[in-house]
Structure 1
Amino acid sequence: MRAETGVRPAVPAQGRQALPYRTAFETPLDFPATAARAREQLRSWLRSKRYDVGRFDDGGAVLARGVVIRYAATDGVSGWHLREAGGDGVTWVSTVAVTRGRQPDRTWVSLNVEPVVSDSVLAPPAAPPRLVRLLLEALDAYDGEAELRHRPVTVGAAAVDDLLDIVCAEDRRLPAVVAAAPADAAFPRWGAVVDRLVRHLPGLASIYLLDPVAAGAFNEGIGSTHRIGPGSVRTYLSGADPAVPEDAVRHRVLSRRRIEAEPARAARVLAVLPRQLAAAAVPPAAARGLHLSIHDVRPPPRRPDDPTAALRAEVALLTELLVAADETERALRATVARQQDEMLGLAADLEGEREGLEQRYAQVRALQQRLTEARLFDSAYTPAERPPPLATSFAELLDRVGQLDPHVTFAGDQSICLDLDEQPHSSAWAQVAWQGLLALADYARASGQGVFAGDFKSWCEKPPDGDWYALSAGKVARDESLTVRRNPKFHQARVFAVPRTVDPGGRVFMGAHIKLGNSTTVAPRMHFHDASHGAGVVYVGYIGPHLPNTLT
């Protein structure tokens, strides 16, 4: 029995990012008591895996074939490092550590579970291990004032003010996931739905379930921009500010429709952001426990009656540790390389957005100057009406795309599109995708009316005068490269369904596309067929990870 693995990743292999499972929390116990409880829960976890707990109790390192545990400690840290080598080329590395806090009655507990693989093996995702549930049951765990439990905390009307304080707290590191019960469903039944929905969240977020009365009081207190709809779940990042409407976009909403339509996918999507934040937000005090080195290892005690056997055991342990150190170094290099690629992609996205914003600012300044010269001061400086919010998830985008009918029709695979929500940067990509759809709708309408004669990239470079929506032209590609068009495999991957009134075969090659993001691993794209001139319709055939080419 090996470490718990996650469910099937939904995106293609080139877009899969195997984030570790990582958490850290404070508990109001002193260091020795916390270490003792953590050791007991680790022992229970090892027993559930059918490992030799007797060897663990005696200080032995090898618990089973390919399974090695080491104990390491300094004056203020105690930690255990477990390596489980499987026959599939994946070695699961789990570290649980207890770190002395600054105050005598405060102690940090940290847990990290991640796969180490060779270059030819795809790293699987790590699900929350049973150990974290054991720890959360045995210890009072806190993230600031928020209590971390392995199941949702039911909130009644009397506790709403406390929850509002937690949601708006600046000192909270991890998200607060709040579910609102619908009025038309039995509360116990909805509680069971939420239990299954948050199964990937123990240790990654504080989790709350509002009863129907509390949901109304919570929404009244949090305000219209930050509210939760009946049957929905909202993920609040730290420092939520209901007084700032623009802040609402940071706090993602999972609708009841998506929860009930695809519960397994909804559970995975809900865990993406908390997992990413938890992996990147381990406090320095807790991180000390995850960085115990080979020099901190405590070898098993030698037995006076058999010193040779004890020395052999010590040599075997140190050999295993050297292998572990080599695997860890290789994994760290791979992580650094992936993060550098992500940084380059995000930097490219940011550069493009800044250029587009500067062009818009320049246009606004020029228009304000002209209005001022015409002495139309009110028109020049009266704030524009706030536009409808952008879609912040691909689930929301698919729910809203029907609003653009008949000028935009999405006929692609919704499952592939929804898979993007399981990526860390999905919210930003969904916003660009919705902007692209709005621009395509206005372009198709203008083209169908004979207002505009060019193609979509020309539209984005210089849209006609009037209240029309356009996208940054740098995000639009008129076609694929000649290499892609001539390669049968690459060409076929870009053939998508259209009505037979557009093509007798019901399928056309869609080389034109919008670049939703520059991530080197996913690089999502939206491919479309332009039938706007005359028909006034654009057919979107694909929204998903970058399709195969010479680089993928």
Structure 2
Amino acid sequence: MATLYRSIWASDDPDAVDVVDRAVVAWGEGVAARHHRPLPSGDARTRASEQYRYVLRRDAHHDPDDTKIGKAVRVVFVESNRDGSRWTTTVRAWSGGSCTGEGAKAWVWIDVEADARDVTEPLFAKPPAFVADLLTTTAAAHGGVSLHPRAVHFQGDDGAEDLAGLLTLPERDVPVVVFGGLGPGADEDALRVFDAAVQRTTRDVAGLAMVAVVDAADLDALGAALGAGFEVHPGAMRLYLPALDPAGDATTRHLEFRAERFRDRPALAGRIAVNQLAPPSSVRRAPDSWDRAAQRLDEATPGGMVEKVAREAARVTDLESELVAERRIAEEVLEEFGDLQHEVTDLRDRLAAASAELARLRGERTGEGLEAIDLAPPHARDCSDAAALARKHLATYLEFPTEAGVDLELLDRQAAGPAWGEQAWRALRALAFYSRARTRDGYDGDFFQWCWNSRHPMAWPANPRKLAMRESKTVMDRWPESRTFTVDGEEQAVQSHVKISSAGMAPRIYFTWVERTGKVHVAYFGRHLRNTRS
């Protein structure tokens, strides 16, 4: 079971434990009731709905005479879905003298874990619905950062200085997501998309990070306060990780995503932010006072339960250790494979450059010089970057609608994500060069034939393991809708596809030539579509 989300915060409210207890129990009861599987009423430690679809377990400790841990509660809510996935939300809250010694009146700790029957099925991190309310009612804060349920606006030079001071706090251990405001010339649609992106991101990273917005006029002041390379551009989103030190930090550690990434899909901003911030949150360590609180709660459980849980936890630890060892071996193999792919790509790029220079010397270039396709960068960081580069550099010969890229961030998060990105970028460039051959040079064969015969340095491998010009009859008879896409404004079946990889999510790029536009159209780029093996 993977931990997808973890939020830990301190509270100055001495009643925070009771507030959390009531909110989480009410939330769990509401979820079960909305799905017509209500939990039985009563104060039983464990309550389960029909067929154990929903289970709520609550352990509590309350002793006014306990000077160390006066109150503690642990609520576990398990949701078993029909698709085979299981989500476990565990909420812990405790207060007492041990918390006071750590600078808090109470602590709140929330974990969301999940597992799926299909290991290739994506599980997206998201905060439970009750988190936003608890952030307000418990006055949540951690490491000098207040965890607000809404975006915080910083205005003027003083606001920019305040934000820069917050970002560079040595004790800050909570990420801060900063949006650069749009200038006064922005149109209404751009402002609407920007506001939607801020709202969605604030909701998706609730409890994980603070979200800030800086007016466009004050971005220069923020950049000056932080130093070159750490600024935020208008409309962009930047993720500032903890331990920001402009004097010795790498600017690339604090990722910036330009507005173009989520211009047509504002919800994508939240997905990007949570996908970047949730994994590191899963290894955050609870305050030391939790050990004492856990002991109090364990003492209140039925006899033998603590020992059973300890045994199972030890078994899980052993299995996780074995998994880590196997994963390390797999990552080393993938890393070596990626290095080899980089080497091959470099050699192909050198060959392409040499071919271009030879063509120039022979006078085969037109007076207009090189095109954008010839000047495209040789590498892509990941699949999302490959898609963005294609739209920027290959648009003359390749039509790549934004909606054709599906869940590319999910591919990026996989261990093989960088290698897939390199391969995808190479495939997209091959499609563009093929399209140019048809448009400019009059070539009339299909992509497979061009790759096989042209001897072009950017040709894609022409073999069935890497390229298919049509699907099998079984696939098209059983799942025609999954191969039907919008191409040039019309719905049509697209069968030709490039096989980026055959492992894991096995990314595919579906494409077709459109005579009217004189371009290759990318209809789909994402994980493997359903077929006889999936």
User: Measured at CA, do residues 49 and 246 of structure 1 come closer, stay the same or move farther in structure 2, by a change above 3 Å?
Assistant: closer
Q: Which shows bigger deviation, 454-463 or 43-52?
A: 454-463
Aligned partners of 2:439 and 2:518 also within 8 Å: yes
User: Measured at CA, do residues 528 and 86 of structure 1 come closer, stay the same or move farther in structure 2, by a change above 3 Å?
Assistant: closer
Q: What is residue 150 of structure 2 aligned with on the other side?
A: 151
Q: What is residue 526 of structure 1 aligned with on the other side?
A: 509
Q: Does 1:397 align with 2:387?
A: yes
User: Measured at CA, do residues 87 and 247 of structure 1 come closer, stay the same or move farther in structure 2, by a change above 3 Å?
Assistant: closer
Aligned partners of 2:404 and 2:525 also within 8 Å: yes
What is the SS of the residue equivalent to 2:205? coil
1:111-132 CA distances to partner (integer Å, 9 max, x unpaired)?
2133578899997865334246
Q: Distance in 2 between matches of 1:269 and 1:151?
A: 18
1:52-92 CA distances to partner (integer Å, 9 max, x unpaired)?
9xxxxx99635786432014799988853323356857564
User: Measured at CA, do residues 449 and 126 of structure 1 come closer, stay the same or move farther in structure 2, by a change above 3 Å?
Assistant: closer
Deviation at 1:274, TM superposition (A): 1.6
Q: Identify which of 105, 119, 136 aligns with 2:103.
A: 105
Q: What is residue 80 of structure 1 aligned with on the other side?
A: 73
Aligned partners of 2:239 and 2:256 also within 8 Å: yes
Deviation at 1:436, TM superposition (A): 3.6
Q: Distance in 2 between matches of 1:272 and 1:229?
A: 21
The one-letter code sitting in structure 2 at the alignment partner of 1:80 is V
Q: Distance in 2 between matches of 1:362 and 1:403?
A: 21
Deviation at 1:271, TM superposition (A): 2.1
* TM-score, normalization by structure 1: 0.63
Q: Distance in 2 between matches of 1:498 and 1:47?
A: 49
Q: Identify which of 82, 86, 95 aligns with 2:91.
A: 95
Q: What is residue 142 of structure 2 aligned with on the other side?
A: 142
Q: Distance in 1 between matches of 2:435 and 2:268?
A: 33
User: Measured at CA, do residues 246 and 62 of structure 1 come closer, stay the same or move farther in structure 2, by a change above 3 Å?
Assistant: closer
Q: Identify which of 192, 214, 219 aligns with 2:218.
A: 214
Aligned partners of 2:126 and 2:204 also within 8 Å: no
Deviation at 1:476, TM superposition (A): 8.0
Q: Identify which of 257, 261, 265 aligns with 1:262.
A: 265
Q: Distance in 2 between matches of 1:113 and 1:96?
A: 12
Aligned partners of 1:525 and 1:545 also within 8 Å: yes
Q: Identify which of 233, 238, 258 aligns with 1:229.
A: 233
User: Measured at CA, do residues 449 and 154 of structure 1 come closer, stay the same or move farther in structure 2, by a change above 3 Å?
Assistant: closer
Deviation at 1:282, TM superposition (A): 1.0
1:115-157 CA distances to partner (integer Å, 9 max, x unpaired)?
57889999786533424642564245124x4443222222232
**Which stretches in structure 2 are left out of the alignment for 5+ residues?**
31-41, 50-54, 353-374
The one-letter code sitting in structure 1 at the alignment partner of 2:341 is G
Deviation at 1:441, TM superposition (A): 2.2
Q: Identify which of 70, 83, 88 aligns with 2:59.
A: 70
1:306-355 CA distances to partner (integer Å, 9 max, x unpaired)?
xxxxxxxx47xx67x89988998999899899988976775554333201
Q: What is residue 202 of structure 1 aligned with on the other side?
A: 206
Deviation at 1:477, TM superposition (A): 0.8
User: Measured at CA, do residues 506 and 195 of structure 1 come closer, stay the same or move farther in structure 2, by a change above 3 Å?
Assistant: closer
Residues 172-191 of structure 1 correspond to what in structure 2 (within 5 A)?
173-184=173-184
User: Measured at CA, do residues 358 and 276 of structure 1 come closer, stay the same or move farther in structure 2, by a change above 3 Å?
Assistant: same
What is the SS of the residue equivalent to 1:509? coil
CA RMSD of aligned residues (A): 5.9
What is the SS of the residue equivalent to 1:538? strand
The one-letter code sitting in structure 2 at the alignment partner of 1:96 is R
Q: Distance in 2 between matches of 1:337 and 1:490?
A: 40
The one-letter code sitting in structure 1 at the alignment partner of 2:498 is H
Aligned partners of 1:178 and 1:210 also within 8 Å: yes
Deviation at 1:256, TM superposition (A): 6.9
Deviation at 1:255, TM superposition (A): 1.6
User: Measured at CA, do residues 292 and 324 of structure 1 come closer, stay the same or move farther in structure 2, by a change above 3 Å?
Assistant: farther
Aligned partners of 1:79 and 1:292 also within 8 Å: yes
Q: What is residue 42 of structure 1 aligned with on the other side?
A: 20
User: Measured at CA, do residues 210 and 471 of structure 1 come closer, stay the same or move farther in structure 2, by a change above 3 Å?
Assistant: farther
Q: Distance in 1 between matches of 2:407 and 2:491?
A: 28
Q: Distance in 1 between matches of 2:250 and 2:453?
A: 28
What is the SS of the residue equivalent to 1:297? helix
* TM-score, normalization by structure 2: 0.64
The one-letter code sitting in structure 2 at the alignment partner of 1:202 is A
The one-letter code sitting in structure 1 at the alignment partner of 2:284 is V
The one-letter code sitting in structure 2 at the alignment partner of 1:282 is R
The one-letter code sitting in structure 2 at the alignment partner of 1:478 is L
The one-letter code sitting in structure 2 at the alignment partner of 1:273 is Q
Deviation at 1:278, TM superposition (A): 1.4
Query: Identical aligned pairs, as a percentage?
Result: 19
Q: Distance in 2 between matches of 1:128 and 1:437?
A: 39
Residues 114-513 of structure 1 correspond to what in structure 2 (within 5 A)?
114-115=113-114, 126-131=126-131, 133-135=133-135, 137-139=137-139, 141-143=141-143, 145-156=144-155, 157-167=157-167, 173-184=173-184, 194-222=198-226, 226-238=230-242, 247-248=251-252, 251-253=255-257, 255=259, 258=262, 261-279=264-282, 281-283=283-285, 285-286=286-287, 289=290, 297-299=298-300, 314=302, 347=332, 349-359=334-344, 387=377, 390=380, 394=384, 397=387, 401=391, 403-410=393-400, 414-415=402-403, 417-421=405-409, 425=413, 428=418, 433-445=424-436, 477-479=466-468, 487-489=475-477, 492=480, 493-494=482-483, 507-510=493-496, 512-513=497-498
Q: What is residue 538 of structure 1 aligned with on the other side?
A: 520
What is the SS of the residue equivalent to 2:405? helix
Deviation at 1:418, TM superposition (A): 3.9
Aligned partners of 1:93 and 1:116 also within 8 Å: no
Deviation at 1:163, TM superposition (A): 2.9
Aligned partners of 1:240 and 1:247 also within 8 Å: no
Deviation at 1:297, TM superposition (A): 1.0
Residues 46-57 of structure 1 correspond to what in structure 2 (within 5 A)?
46=24, 48-49=26-27
The one-letter code sitting in structure 1 at the alignment partner of 2:19 is Q
Q: Distance in 2 between matches of 1:48 and 1:439?
A: 56
